Chain A
């Protein structure tokens, strides 16, 4: 129950955090195309399913997923997002951890839902845009130019935020399902899943 994490667990958390960070950043580059910037959490959800499912095969204690969320949040903060991701990521990861705990870390169904929740943490990168809408639009206008803002501004409002959260959740679950299939196809054969 309250088993402490050993060094091996901590290193696993570190390694998989790196993979997810690199994936999010590479796809974050697509954010320069105006519409895709809004769709970033969906892209992240789409792509992170495989590594997350592989990560879960290594998880059997409470706290590893939460810790991963915290690490991701810290790295996001240090790389120029605001401090919001630290909170959001840790919170989402904690909920995901609880869901996994209910399935005893082996239920496939719970893993899939957990990925859906976990990946909502990426919304933390976007939330400031929605909460402090005008402030950021002004900032963007001076830095990205009026064209960019004109394209992007109709999309920044509460309904879009809600749709985005739901879509991210669904895509996250779908991609976790795909991740499960890929796991079977590639990793179980190689004996590492």
Chain B
């Protein structure tokens, strides 16, 4: 697999696809349409540097669909609840989670800001959203670190600590909040030195524009969405 196959997308494309995918998540779509839409995150992940997660994703999805179609109708009791949890999460949320993962991991903040400014979205929205993009992975990193620190002190995530949920929440929440406040101060200092508070229009080193791949993927998504909307409206008319 040569590196030449990899492509990058415009952040706008990623967000539009994410929005459309999340629009469809609540409803049951017939298999062949959702097939197309499920493949889009897979394609995106596979042709960037996330081949492993792409393959894990598609296998998990197929397994979940299989369970849903062939095993669920006959299962009952506790087993059914576990299976439902698994298959529901996987088949509904996985495409969105993977698309979100792809969007967050492959979009550089500068790229995102450049793309959003190009489409004239006000700064008051761009800056918080780009902070959200940037900070979500760090929070999970932090949670991992805190868990380790707690384990070292004999208060790991186990039955004993789960009996004491208030303490658990306190022990997690306080360090995360303290580091959040610190990060906020550091980030604003960093962005002030970069001149983010300058009201003039910014220039960008990175040039962001739509490529052929953007159009192809967007077209695919919109076609899928169109068929979905058509079916949905027809379904409403009949019902």
> Which positions in A face B, CB cutoff 8 Å?
5-8, 10-19, 21-22, 32, 47, 50-51, 54, 58, 63, 67-68, 70-71, 74-75, 77-83, 128, 136, 139, 142-145, 147-148, 182, 186-187, 190, 192
Contacts and interface: CB of A to CB of B under 8 A. Distances in A.
Given A21-B132, A187-B177, 13 more contacts: A7-B197, A8-B188, A10-B128, A15-B131, A18-B180, A19-B139, A78-B19, A79-B22, A143-B28, A143-B88, A143-B91, A143-B92, A147-B80
9 contacts: A8-B188, A14-B132, A16-B180, A58-B184, A63-B124, A78-B15, A80-B26, A143-B91, A186-B178
B208 interface: no
Main secondary structure of the interface of A (DSSP, over half): helix
Contacts of A47: 169
Contacts, number: 141
Given A15-B131, A32-B85, A147-B80, A192 B28 contact: no
Contacts of B27: 139
B173 interface: yes
A145 B127 contact: no
Contact of A21 (B76, B136, B178): B136
Contacts of A68: 128
A15 B100 contact: no
Q: Interface centre among A7, A21, A50, by most B CB within 10 Å? A: A7
A74 B116 CA distance: 15
A76 B123 CA distance: 20
A10 B124 contact: yes
A62 B25 CA distance: 35
B192 interface: yes
B17 to A, nearest CB: 10
B88 A15 contact: no
Contacts of B176: 19
Contact of A78 (B22, B28, B123): B22
